[in-house]
A = this chain, B = another copy of it.
Amino acid sequence: MFTPLVVVELASDTKEEAIAWILSRIRDQQQNGGVHVGVDPLNSKISFDCEKENPNMFLVGATRQRLLSGAEEVGLFKECNDGSMRGFTCANKHNFKDFEGDGDSFLNMAECQYIIKHELDTLRAKDETHVPGHTQVKLYPGKSIIRRLQSKGILIQIFPLHGQEELKRLSFSWYKKVKLSFQPLDNIRHYYGEGQALYFGFLEYFTFALVPMALIGVPYYLFDWEDYDKYVIFAVFNLVWCTVILELWKRFSASLAYRWGTLSRKKAFEEPRPGFHGTLGFNPVTGRKEPLYPNAKRQLRVYLVSLPFVLLCLYLSLYIMMIYFQMEGWVLSFHDEEPTFWTGILMFIPSIIYAVVIEIMNLIYRYAAEFLTEWENHRLESSYQNHLVLKVLVFNFFNCFASLFYIAFVMQDMVLLRQSLATLLITSQILNQFMEAFLPYWLQRRRNKKMIRKVQKRRTVEEKELPLAEQVRLEADMSTYLGTFDDYLELFLLFGYVSLFSCTYPLAAVLVVLNNVTEVYSDAFKMCRVFKRPFSDPAANIGVWQLAFEAMSVIAIVTNCALIGMSPQVKAYFTESETQLILWTVAIEHMLLAFKFILTFLIPDVPKHIQIKLARLEFESLEALKKKVRKTL
């Protein structure tokens, strides 16, 4: 008997013998090459009238003992009685803080689900050449069965179940009460895992980091200081601010990751991603059979196809931008000649067209980028993600900021810059909130209602909780959460608006703070109510996004220095020689860049007290080794 944790859905046309084989392999002892976890078909007590229900849904779970040994295998870090974080081992289980009795409540649900996912992923073919009943689904010794089923469409989905009780508690403390307090990050991590919790931690951190900027921005706006003379102070503040907060975030994130046990956790060896293909050979690291694809070929694809494609898209984006500015010019001259109400409205047309075209381009580009990155045939999911993030990032950066750069540095029109910044910021926020939160919520609500109506038809009114089978089917129909990619991308662009040009529009920080506050609520709501529960992701930091934000902060130094150099206030000091002004600006910019890099070196990425704890673990393992050596002599 086991608590159901994970749902596995197979295609409805899967052969009986394939199902029997899969179940027996999953249930088999580990000595026999199975993973020894429990799996049961989902029995709907209530058979619905409609025929669309898929009969091949299975619930997976495991015994407490199996989960504990799995925790050791995945290298889970847990808090010990002395307050340090150590890799869990069954032998030392009683040294761990929350291990009581048999350790029933030692692992939380998200951890158990992660362990089961990991175990299922490591279920490997023995001497089967294909899946029984499906001769086209080839196998070879060592191939991960789940991944093959996934890539051949037999496994439709695998997802962890929501914990209704815990979810209710979490959503109450997270977004249901309006309060002035931090998010329950530890609870979020407890329920969704470290990757999600780090995103919400970053979102919150970023919001708080913006507050001083917003506070400075308000008087600038209220007392009409934004006559471009006073923005020098604001730009200087921007400069320092965006360097410092990123450095401090690294430390904060290291603290979180240490507390959550992912900072020093060793990564398991990564399996090839499901879509990866190549000629069968032996992996030089594991010695296992797996498809191999020459790295040189992949590099050729990246540098000879993807890179030129991205550059072409950037050029196209620039070209469209230039057309937009031309249209703006025409409309303006048209309006100036004969200003009527209709020409006034006509003024808005180019902006609207441009905004729509940008959105469409973003969408098409996103598909193209996904296609290209898939075609590059990366062996690892992480490498795939990095290449995709890079492609999308660069293009989005260009699309969002190219026009602002053009206005600021080619047209040098600060009034227009402010207008454009405000327009871009406000429209993108409204669009985002609508697309991200309201729309999925509304769709989900419709789906839920339909389901509940269906169920209620056949039940007495007293039962308030849905029975397990219905709950599972309900969750199986929920949208799949596609990861934090889009959420981080949005934050990245907001960070760009604030750090690059906000000195010309001091209210930007205020708007972003407001946006972030609603974003916390809408994202929280989405996670709890709209999406299937995602598997937890034992992340130790925000990964490639840290780099992206740092790159943005370097660009921010350059733009802010240039804006300062172009300000009338500064120009007044260099009335006789423009050359002198530029040289000074460049010199100061170089000094600031150097200072930023020195600062990055000087501020340790991990706080001292955590460094000490990590050093102590290292020291203990060295000492233990020495003792072992002496004993064996």
Question: A523 to chain B: which residues have CB within 8 Å?
Answer: none
Binds B, one of A215-223, A323-331, A344-352, A582-590: A582-590
Contact status A90-B284, CB under 8 Å = no
- Are the C-beta atoms of A69 and B612 separated by less than 8 Å? no
| Other-chain residue from B31, B69, B286, B633 in contact with A69 (beta carbon distance below 8 A) | B633
Within 8 A of B (CB), among A576-620: 578-579, 582-583, 586, 590, 608, 612, 615-616, 618-619
Which residues of chain A in 508-541 are interfacial with respect to chain B, using CB atoms and an 8 Å cutoff? none
Give the residue of B73, B558, B619 whose beta carbon is less than 8 angstroms from that of A590. Answer: B558
- Interface contact A632-B558, CB-CB below 8 Å: no
**Binary CB contact string for chain A from 57 to 71 against chain B (1 if under 8 A, 0 otherwise):** 000000001000100
Q: Is A629 an interface residue, CB under 8 A from the partner?
A: yes
Indicate if the CB atoms of B91 and A269 lie closer than 8 Å.
Answer: no
A447 is an interface residue with CB less than 8 A from chain B:
no
| Cα separation A616 to B582 with both chains bound (whole Å) | 54
The answer to whether A626 touches B73, judged by C-beta atoms less than 8 angstroms apart, is yes
The listed residue (B65, B285, B590) touching A615 by CB distance below 8 A is B285
Q: Does A461 contact B (CB under 8 A)?
A: no
Tell whether A374 is near chain B: CB-to-CB under 8 Å.
Answer: no
Give bound CA distance, A72 to B622, whole Å: 11
Bound Cα distance from A65 to B629, whole angstroms: 12
Task: Determine whether the beta carbon of B633 is less than 8 Å from that of A65.
Answer: yes
Alpha-carbon gap, A629 to B115, bound state (A)? 15
From B72, B268, B579, contact of A579 by CB (8 A): B579
Chain B residue with minimal CB distance to A581?
Answer: B579
**B286 and A619 contacting across the interface, CB-CB below 8 Å:** yes
In the complex the two chains form, is A285's CB within 8 Å of B586's CB? no
Contacts of A633 in B (CB 8 A): 65, 69, 90
A interface, over-half SS = helix
> Interface readout for A260-271 with B: 1 if CB under 8 Å, 0 if not?
000000101100
Provide the residues of chain B in CB contact with A578, threshold 8 Å: 579
Given A268-B622, A582-B579, A626-B73, verify A616-B65 contact (CB < 8 Å): no
Closest to A612 in B: B284
A89-B284 Cα distance, complex, nearest whole Å: 25
CB-CB < 8 A to A286: which residues of B? 616, 619
Residues of B within 8 A of A616 (CB): 284-286
- How many Å lie between the Cα of A237 and that of B156 in the bound state? 56
Q: Which residues of B contact A582 (CB under 8 A)?
A: 579, 582-583, 586
Interface residues of A in 64-107 (CB under 8 A from B): 65, 69, 72-73, 75, 89-91
Are B69 and A629 touching (Cβ within 8 A)?
A: yes
Q: Does A412 contact B (CB under 8 A)?
A: no
Q: Does A54 reach chain B (CB closer than 8 Å)?
A: no
A270–chain B nearest beta-carbon distance, Å = 10
Most buried by B among A31, A90, A558, A625: A625
List which A260-310 residues lie within 8 A (CB) of chain B.
266, 268-269, 284-286, 295
Complex Cα spacing A284 to B207, Å? 35
The docked-state distance in angstroms from the alpha carbon of A286 to that of B90 is 26
Q: Smallest Cβ distance from A283 to chain B, in angstroms?
A: 9
A569 at interface, CB cutoff 8 A: no
- Residue A333 at the chain B interface, CB threshold 8 Å: no
Asked whether, in the complex, the Cβ of A91 is within 8 Å of the Cβ of B284, the reply is no
Q: Is A14 an interface position by the 8 A CB rule?
A: no
Say yes or no: B622 contacts A266, CB within 8 Å.
Answer: yes
A269 to B614, CA, bound (A): 12
Q: How far is the CB of A150 from chain B (nearest CB, A)?
A: 23
Task: Please name the residue on chain B nearest to A72 by beta carbon.
Answer: B629
Bound Cα distance from A269 to B619, whole angstroms: 6
| B30 A630 Cβ-Cβ under 8 A | yes
Q: How far is the CA of A295 from the CA of B630 in the complex (A)?
A: 36
Contacts of A632 in B (CB 8 A): 90-91
Q: Chain B contacts of A615 at CB under 8 A?
A: 269, 285
A268 to B615, CA, bound (A): 11
CA of A586 to CA of B75, assembled, Å: 50
* Residues of the B chain whose Cβ atoms lie less than 8 Å from the Cβ of A30: 630
A71 to B: closest C-beta gap in Å: 10
C-alpha spacing A75/B284, complex, angstroms: 26
Selected from B268, B608, B619, B629, the residue in CB contact (under 8 A) with A73 is B629
Which residues of B lie under 8 Å from residue A72 when comparing CB positions? 625, 629
Q: Which residues of B contact A630 (CB under 8 A)?
A: 30-31, 69
Q: List 22 A-B contacts (CB under 8 A).
A: A31-B630, A69-B630, A72-B625, A72-B629, A73-B625, A75-B622, A75-B625, A90-B632, A90-B633, A91-B632, A266-B622, A269-B618, A269-B622, A284-B616, A285-B612, A285-B616, A286-B616, A286-B619, A295-B608, A579-B579, A579-B582, A582-B586
A interface residues (Cβ-Cβ under 8 A, vs B): 30-31, 65, 69, 72-73, 75, 89-91, 266, 268-269, 284-286, 295, 558, 578-579, 582-583, 586, 590, 608, 612, 615-616, 618-619, 622, 625-626, 629-630, 632-633
Beyond A90-B629, A90-B633, A285-B619, 10 additional pairs, beta carbon < 8 A: A31-B630, A69-B629, A73-B626, A269-B619, A269-B622, A285-B616, A579-B582, A582-B582, A582-B583, A586-B586
